[in-house]
Amino acid sequence: MLTNPLTKNVIDQNIATDIERYLGNGGYQGWRKALTMRPEEIINQVKEGGLRGRGGAGFNTGLKWSFVPRGENAPRQKFIVCNADEMEPGTFKDRLLMERDPHLLLEGMAIAAYAIGASIGYIFIRGEYHLAAERLENAVEEAKAQGLLGSNILDSKFTLEIFIHRSAGNYICGEETALLNALEGRRAIPRAKPPFPQVSGLWGKPTVVNNVETFCNVPHLVELGVDWYRELGRGQDAGSKLFGVSGKVKKPGTWELPMGTPIREIIETYAGGMQDGLELTGFLPGGGSTDFLGPEHLDLPMDYDVIGKAGSRMGTGTIIVLDNETCPIGLVLNLSQFFARESCGWCTPCRDGLPWIVKILQRIEEGAGLPEDLDLLREQCQHIGPGKTFCALAPGAAEPLQSALKLYEQDFIEHIEKRCCPYAELQSGKQS
């Protein structure tokens, strides 16, 4: 049984960047099969397979596709869009797929486009991903030359053109409606929802936006079926996923593993465990905008609902590890500075609240903090929490802070009482 559908073309440096290698390893078989199916059959198969969005939200992909209007009264023009603007702190998985197996992404997008009736697709890619963009552009031309994209694909009368759009920057473009505004050449700010993009998206037409890894799951799910895909998972969720680990571990990186793989196994077996002499004191399970979990959560499986019940989110599945010699306040300050800089400025709590949080954290880290600063930070977390802002950027920025205030409260207190960062003293002592 195929157990590594996402990385079978990239392991052992077998990089399938050209179409001949991709076809030789079974590429585009899912696309060929999809063209023999009815669109609603594909949507139902993806829904029943349990594929959940790999960009962070974890919404059922087939269910999302089913919201696109169909029938005689539906708009004729529809769009499929790939969110490849991978800017979440600590996340580095989509780049691997685009650089080393670009045709897998194109195949997944083609199947999705056929399922919803879209004739035009865009890959909205992070501006700094130059190599990935070049390989995707080349892959598009190769696929068109083989009759796998373009007009009358494989004599099916179905037409699909895919374009590569290089982002001008800004983390907010990872929010799907801000991404659509940027694609239209307008300011990248979120839109009010409803209407949702599946009904009124790019230029007001039905649009599906999915993440790179999500699309890359589709070809093998369609080709090999629901039962095969569900059996890949080890827990509640189906399929495999790219999990990553960064921080002071021995072997930081990213690996394709079954959904439901325990956190301890990912960190200790694949990332090699903590560096010598260091202890794990906590971790962000899904990138920089998730809540800290503690060592007592290491045996939890990496499943969306399980991590949610533990008080965090699985997010992108890329774990950031915190050790006993790294200052948690410094880490949160670093993240808060990023989120404050990347705010689009559209709503007051985010535009003004995040810079204020940065100022408070800076003075605590620099030894000028006051006891009442902790209450101020907790208050700000409430002001920028879910339902208080126009989109999820600020609530996501609040997650590492609000959880750090609980898990590392004593560290905050020591910073204020000692009027310095104890971790700076620790590092200074080690160096001397």
- Edge-to-edge strands, sheet with 120-125: 161-166, 120-125, 79-84, 207-211
Range 58-96 burial, b when 16+ CB lie within 10 A, else e? bebbbebbbebeeeeeeeeebbbbbbbbbbbbbbbbbbb
Contacts of 386 (CB under 8 A, 6+ apart): 392, 395
348 token code pair:
């007051």
Domains of the chain and any CATH numbers = 11-232 (3.40.50.11540), 240-323 (3.10.20.600), 328-431 (1.20.1440.230)
Residue given tokens 């306040």 in the structure block: 329
Sequential pLDDT tens for the chain (432 residues)? 788 999 999 876 657 788 999 999 999 999 999 999 999 999 999 999 999 999 888 899 999 999 999 988 889 999 999 999 999 999 999 999 999 999 999 999 999 999 999 999 999 999 999 999 999 999 999 999 999 999 999 999 999 999 999 998 789 999 999 999 999 999 999 999 899 999 999 999 999 999 999 999 999 999 999 999 999 999 889 999 999 999 999 999 999 999 999 999 999 999 999 999 999 999 999 999 999 999 999 999 999 999 999 999 999 999 999 999 999 999 999 999 999 999 999 999 999 999 999 999 999 999 999 999 999 999 999 999 888 999 999 999 999 999 999 999 999 999 999 999 999 866 665 655
* Residue whose token pair is 């209450």: 375
Helix ranges (H only) for 9-84 are 19-24, 29-34, 39-49, 61-66
Q: Is 99 in contact with 138 (CB distance < 8 Å)?
A: no
pLDDT score at 56: 82
Rounded-to-integer distance, Cα 150 and Cα 120, Å: 10
The predicted structure's pLDDT at residue 71: 86
Burial class (CB in 10 A: 0-12, 13-18, 19+), 364: buried
Alpha carbon distances (Å) from 96 to 17, 204, 213: 11, 32, 10
Can you tell me the distance from the alpha carbon of 116 to that of 83, in angstroms, rounded to the nearest whole number? 17
Q: Is 248 exposed, middle or buried (0-12, 13-18, 19+ CB in 10 A)?
A: middle
pLDDT of residue 2: 87
Residues linked to residue 83 through DSSP beta bridges, in sequence order: 124, 211
Residue 233 has phi, psi (to 5 degrees) of -75, 155
* 91 touches 285 (CB < 8 A): no
Query: Which residues neighbour 277 within 8 Å (Cβ) at sequence distance 6 or greater?
Result: none
Side by side, the strands of the sheet bearing 280-284 are 253-258, 240-246, 318-323, 280-284
Cβ pair 245, 318 in contact under 8 A = yes
Q: Which of 216, 257, 213 is nearest to 233 (CA)?
A: 257
**Rounded CA separation 79/42 (Å):** 17
Alpha carbon 338 to its chain centroid, in Å, reads: 17
Token representation of residue 128 = 């700094």
Q: Which of 232, 225, 224 is nearest to 45 (CA)?
A: 225
For residue 122, give the nearest of 214, 210, 216, 51 by alpha carbon: 210
pLDDT confidence of residue 369: 96
Q: Which residues pair with 322 in a beta bridge?
A: 282
